[in-house]
Amino acid sequence: MITSGKYRGEHCIFVAPEWYPGAGSAFDANAYLQSLAESYVTALQIYIKDHHGIAYYNTQVGKQSSYMKGDLLADVVKAAKEHGIQVLAYYSVGWDNWVAERNPEWLMRTPDGEHVKIGLWTYLCYNSAYREYMLAQLHEIAQYKVDGIWLDILRYPQMGFRACFCDGCRQKFLDHGEAEMPRSINFRDPVYRRYVRFLEHTLTSFLQETRLAVGSTPFSFNGVGFLTPKKWNEICDWNNVESHAPEHVDQSYKSRYLSGLRQPWEILTPGTAVGWTTWTVKPADTMKLELAITTSYGGTATFGSNPPIGGDTEKPNSTMAAQRQCIRDAYSWLKDRSPWLGGTSYRNGNVAILQSISTEVSLFGGHSNGGLDQDLFRSTKLGEPLEAYPREVILDSLGFHRSLLSSDTQYEIINEYSIDRLLGFDLVILPDQRWLAPEVVEKLRSFVRNGGNLLATNRTTLYGEDGNVKNNFALSELFGVDYLDLSLCDVHYIDMIGRKLANGLQETVTPVRQPAVKVKAHPGTDILAMLRWPDSQRTQSRFYFHEGSGPDHRTPALYPAITSRVYGKGRVIYIAVPLGREYFVHHSLTASQIIRTLTAQVSRPVAASSHPRRVEMTLMHQKEAGRLVVHLINHYTTEIEPFLEADKIENLRISWDKEYLVACKGGNWQKVYLAPTNIPLTVIEREGRCEIEISRLDIHAMVVFE
């Protein structure tokens, strides 16, 4: 149902609380759908039950808006059909204040019996009779022949709870054969881990029952796809994740991850700057940048819109009116590009980052949170405590992503479900992937034996499914090192020992403010750098201006920091510290430089550009049209602001490995041009590379090999 370029969505946050007299009564379905059609919108996601619990259709089950004239959903479906626009009904799952006020026994509870609240919203539990209430409403909505149902707030909240301790959960947990519920939150407690699995099962069974309630109506929920269990992905008809401008690096990360799942996907982003609740309109140029990033990976971005409380979507001089202009501008721009979007295959890189689901299972026992709280990128930037989001392993992955993004490396993000695609890669990166299932370990072993390369950091494969540290890495033989112990110093130093690492990194001693693993190298393992400990830990009594007192040079460095090992026909690099996390959290340029240096040693540089820090290059294959499309995205800003003439890139030079391009396209090309302008391009072939110069790049352009 989501086709890149042709699916152009508006996510209408139609909220009309009962306390406001006449709320929502000015809504005119015909006028709104006409306006959407004129804005090139092809899919409307509209609130049909909001967080207040107010339904905008004729419900026999819940609270219908007192001010709604006629049947809003029926009117929308009818008007949308006339314009060929899809209708997706938004339904708030976890938050429903109308129900919560009347049925306190249906609310989630903390271990102390308190309600589970975030801001003004109180979570309802799926192990209460609220489940039947929702299923009945979803069944009603499906009868309207909508094109899809869009569920929001489907999760057990994470912020320090990750659980519900209500009577319903207690009873069902007993029914699962357990003696009693855990009394406190402890991820190392086997009972607690089974409890997290039980909550995961609760969400799975809710999705399965939703499928029964809505029949063949497609549905999805906010957060599905990104690090969620395969069974959730399979029940839902498309993947759906939030990522907001100006976090374009996060949007790029999630696009890469979602494209690897081989399901249709969208990234939801506000039509306001910043977040969902402001009234400042997001500029059309920001929307274009978000569309460029997502569609260049085969998905799309869907924009929020914010009608006034009265419901008059066409009110002049409103936020909505300004959003209408911006969305029209952005979608007109996208429509011009649509012939070169969509219908793409999934081979877009020769390097992969493996971000596994199993590591999450090992750390937390299972999945009880369906996304949304997972926006580590923003929370890290805002300086929020990371223990509120116990997802430190993802930060290592994000650091590698950010580093590779600015080096023109062509890479994908995969998980264990797409492990069979390993064979196409030169290099697979394992950023602190603490538990990998035995079959995945076996596939990695065979990948390296046959000539693939690995780069692994820190505690990769050191943990078991039960979340405990094992005696050695499951991949110890490949790493060429044995595990000895974890080091708990607050800072470690990588000592380049004056050799092996090129690019001006010799003789450098660089701090890494991360935990380290002490390892012993096997005979025949090449040691590229050593670990050094600080002179002393930084404490109140041993205060030193810098972070740590500097490396201790009095005692010999005993433990390797970076090693290299030949295994079969391939090579394995092991790094004892989470180097990506150091780069991502502490902006260590040396960490990024080491990542890029090592990556270049074990993978082919298939692409290069004259502006690697500004331009993101991705490669997509349109098999049916016989086209290979190189997307050029100008990350012109890290803020939310319009594109200026000064942001253009002139005389952008790109070069590609010709053999790689031919293999990706599945043959040679007849012509090369710039899209959507159709300007012919000259390709200079030199030493096995294709070089092209583009005189001007604004936000996005495509080099098409046809």
CA–CA separation, 687 and 655 (whole Å):
11
Nearer to Zn ion, 22 or 104 (CB): 104
CA–CA separation, 340 and 4 (whole Å):
9
**Identity (one letter) of the amino acid at 527?**
I
Helix, strand, or coil (residue 111): coil
**Shortest Cβ 242–Zn ion spacing (Å):** 25
Task: Determine phi and psi for 574, rounding to 5 degrees.
Answer: -120, 135
**Shortest Cβ 303–Zn ion spacing (Å):** 34
Helix, strand, or coil (residue 487): strand
Tell me which stretch binds Zn ion (CB under 5 A): 168-176, 341-349, 379-387, 660-668.
168-176
Which one among 166, 287, 326, 595 touches Zn ion, defined by CB under 5 A?
A: 166
**Identity (one letter) of the amino acid at 675?**
A
Tell me which stretch binds Zn ion (CB under 5 A): 15-23, 158-166, 225-233, 250-258.
158-166
Nearer to Zn ion, 209 or 535 (CB): 209
Nearer to Zn ion, 160 or 339 (CB): 160
Nearer to Zn ion, 106 or 567 (CB): 106
Determine, following the binding rule CB under 5 A, whether residue 76 of this chain makes contact with Zn ion.
Answer: no
Contacts of 413 (CB under 8 A, 6+ apart): 253, 256, 257, 260, 352, 353, 355, 397, 401
Q: Bridge partners of 429?
A: 353, 455
Cα 270 to its chain centre, rounded Å, is: 16
User: One symbol per residue from 36 to 55: x for binding Zn ion (CB under 5 A), - otherwise; what is it?
Assistant: --------------------
**In terms of Cα–Cα distance, which of 74, 50, 69 is closest to 140?**
74
**Shortest Cβ 372–Zn ion spacing (Å):** 19
Which one among 2, 164, 497, 585 touches Zn ion, defined by CB under 5 A?
A: 164
CA–CA separation, 447 and 567 (whole Å):
10
Which one among 169, 320, 413, 577 touches Zn ion, defined by CB under 5 A?
A: 169
**Shortest Cβ 122–Zn ion spacing (Å):** 13
**Shortest Cβ 140–Zn ion spacing (Å):** 25
**Max Cα-Cα span within the chain:** 82
User: One symbol per residue from 486 to 515: x for binding Zn ion (CB under 5 A), - otherwise; what is it?
Assistant: ------------------------------
The runs of H, that is alpha helices, within 338-407 are 358-364, 376-381, 392-405
**Shortest Cβ 378–Zn ion spacing (Å):** 28
**Shortest Cβ 172–Zn ion spacing (Å):** 8
Residues numbered 524-553 forming contacts with Zn ion, rule: CB under 5 A: none
User: One symbol per residue from 118 to 137: x for binding Zn ion (CB under 5 A), - otherwise; what is it?
Assistant: -------x-x----------
Nearer to Zn ion, 173 or 346 (CB): 173
Contacts of 596 (CB under 8 A, 6+ apart): 403, 404, 407, 409, 503
**Shortest Cβ 109–Zn ion spacing (Å):** 7
**Shortest Cβ 165–Zn ion spacing (Å):** 7
Task: Determine phi and psi for 214, rounding to 5 degrees.
Answer: -100, -5
Nearer to Zn ion, 181 or 595 (CB): 181
Contacts of 202 (CB under 8 A, 6+ apart): 126, 127, 156, 169, 172, 368
**Shortest Cβ 154–Zn ion spacing (Å):** 14
Nearer to Zn ion, 79 or 125 (CB): 125
CA–CA separation, 457 and 433 (whole Å):
8
Long-range CB pairs of 328-334, under 8 A, 24+ apart, other chains included: 328/38, 328/39, 328/40, 329/284, 329/287, 330/284, 330/287, 330/288, 330/291, 330/303, 331/8, 331/39, 331/40, 331/41, 332/40, 333/284, 333/288, 333/291, 334/5, 334/8, 334/40, 334/288, 334/291, 334/295
**Shortest Cβ 127–Zn ion spacing (Å):** 4
Whether the CB-CB separation of 389 and 220 falls below 8 Å is answered with no
Number of residues that bind Zn ion (CB under 5 A): 6
Nearer to Zn ion, 154 or 494 (CB): 154
Cα 30 to its chain centre, rounded Å, is: 36
**Shortest Cβ 157–Zn ion spacing (Å):** 12
**Shortest Cβ 164–Zn ion spacing (Å):** 3
Whether the CB-CB separation of 284 and 326 falls below 8 Å is answered with yes
Nearer to Zn ion, 206 or 377 (CB): 206
**Identity (one letter) of the amino acid at 427?**
L
Nearer to Zn ion, 167 or 507 (CB): 167
Identify the burial level of 364 via C-beta atoms within 10 angstroms of its C-beta, where 0-12 means exposed, 13-18 middle and 19 or more buried.
Answer: buried
Nearer to Zn ion, 124 or 527 (CB): 124
Binding site for Zn ion (CB under 5 A): 125, 127, 164, 166, 168-169
